[in-house]
Amino acid sequence: MVNKKRVFLTAIFLGVVVALGCFLTGCGDETVDLMQYAKVTFTGFNSKGEADIEVNLDELMEKASKNAPDDLKATGISSGISAFRSTFSYKLSKYDDLSNGEKIIMTVSYNERLAKAFKFNFKAENKEIEVTGLSEAQEVDLFDGVTVSFSGKSPQGTAKVIKSDKDLLLKKVYYSLNKADGLANGDTVIVTAGYSENEAEENGIIVGKTEKKFTVEGLDEYISKYEQMDKTLYDKMDKQARDMIDAKIADDSFGHFLKGGYVASDYSKGVSDLKVEADRCLFGSLKEGADKDYNIGVNTLSMVYKITGKDKKDEDGFTTYVSVRFSDIILLSDGKLDVVVTDGKLDGKCDTYENIFRNVVTSNKDKYGFEEIDITKAENLPKASVSGSNTSSTEKSTEKTTEKATEESTQSATNSSVASSSSEKATQTATTASVSSR
């Protein structure tokens, strides 16, 4: 038995196909140029333009419908039009970042197998289109006038971005640093600029680079090696250390400092042949990543002195080692060295150098790297500096007062003579023993 419904639907489909073939070819030789029904528009700003395609398929179909035979028009081909129009695909070789005068290519594709089956007659050649009509954009350098300020002391300097006061045409521009602290001279920091891309596009603004490198420079610097010391500063530190030792000896009527423990109250009267000699320098520098000990600083120079002499009980002589520590020695940006010499501290007194070394170096080697310098060898003394050294204003203002107070205290407290470079002449007439320096 014949399925009448299937026969009826098949008849309709064949009718649509026949009508569609006549529709697209005009049932004749007329060719339909598909590019005529596509329009490319450009928006945005020169070098940042955008392209868009508008295709008028309704007009295309209307054009084709006019070529269809009158009897097919009456039959109706709307379902065929709807099926076919969905196969068109127009594309451009480039859609954005366009500039005036630039050439782009428009192409169109469709279901070629279906077109061949129904003998559709199309012209679909690629079309070259020139970009035109884009407004000129304004290019903005987000780093115009932007600087980075460095402060503190190397290698613990800090950085801060100083924004420009110039009009960058954008309401909101913000900056960030990849590293803002723990900086040393010669390091590089990167500043990144952020902004609203939507705001830039809406206002025709082209943003240049968004990152810029800056080199850390101009920071005062903590020295990290003994070889950076110069003779000028070393001599000032040596003099202060000796002044501190002299003052301590002068106040040591019971001998606690020189000998340790309790000694007779007239002990100092029996001391003779007293000498203070520079023996070692122990230079320490904070290790990278370590937290500094605030009693030591970022760097430290412990000047070790060997004190020898005789007393009533030790006619063969005694030996004591004393360490005087100076911290945070700085190389200024002008090339001079600086330290607050009056901040020096007597940080150790032992009967052997080995014990001084253990107290100063071994107990702090977890955070500091140390150098041991034998000062008894002339070649190990710091060399003269071309530029010379600075000392702090605190040291300068108190130096004379300290010398005077030390000298008077020494003269009144002991009959020993303390002969150093600055007080030798004043004390020789009042004492019988001497404290000399190498």
Q: What is the mean pLDDT of residues 198-226?
A: 91
Q: Against a cut of 0.75, is the pTM above it?
A: no
Report the C-alpha gap between 180 and 160 in whole angstroms: 7
Q: pLDDT tens digits, residue range 401-418? A: 334 333 443 333 333 333
Percent of the chain, pLDDT > 90? 47
Mean pLDDT for the stretch of residues 347-366: 94
Say what the pLDDT of residue 433 is.
Answer: 28
Cα 25 to Cα 38, 110, 138, 251: the distances in Å are 19, 15, 50, 122
Q: Report the alpha-carbon distance of residue 367 to residue 287 in Å, rounded.
A: 6
Interval 185-213 mean pLDDT: 91
- Tokens linked to 14: 């064949």
Q: Is the pLDDT of residue 210 over 50?
A: yes
pLDDT for 314 equals 67
Q: How confident is the model at residue 315 (pLDDT cuts 50, 70, 90)?
A: low
End-to-end Cα spacing for the chain: 133
pLDDT digits (tens, 9 = 90+) for 80-137: 556 667 888 999 999 999 999 999 999 999 877 766 655 667 788 999 999 999 988 8
Split at pLDDT 50, 70, 90, the class of 72 is very low
Closest CA to 407 of 392, 424, 391: 424
Confidence (pLDDT) at 267: 53
Higher pLDDT, 346 or 421: 346
pLDDT band at 382 (very low <50, low <70, confident <90, very high): very high
Question: By three-state DSSP, how is residue 240 classified?
Answer: helix
- Reported confidence tier of residue 48, pLDDT bands at 50, 70, 90: confident
Q: What is the mean pLDDT of residues 355-377?
A: 96
**Four-residue CA torsion sign, 42, 43, 45, 50:** negative
DSSP H stretches of helix in 100-188? 112-117
The order of strands in the sheet holding 173-177 is 173-177, 188-195, 211-215
Of 59-63, 116-120, 320-324, 418-422, the range with the lowest mean pLDDT is 418-422
Q: What is the mean pLDDT of residues 377-404?
A: 56
pLDDT more than 70, % of the chain: 70
Tell me the CA distances in angstroms from 294 to 240, 286, 338, one per residue in order. Answer: 21, 11, 18
Phi, psi (5° rounding) for residue 292? -70, 150
Coil, helix or strand at residue 286: strand
Single-letter code of the amino acid located at 222: Y
Say what the pLDDT of residue 86 is: 81
What integer best gives the mean pLDDT of the chain?
77
pLDDT of 281 strictly over 70? yes
Asked whether residue 12 carries a pLDDT value surpassing 70, the answer given is no
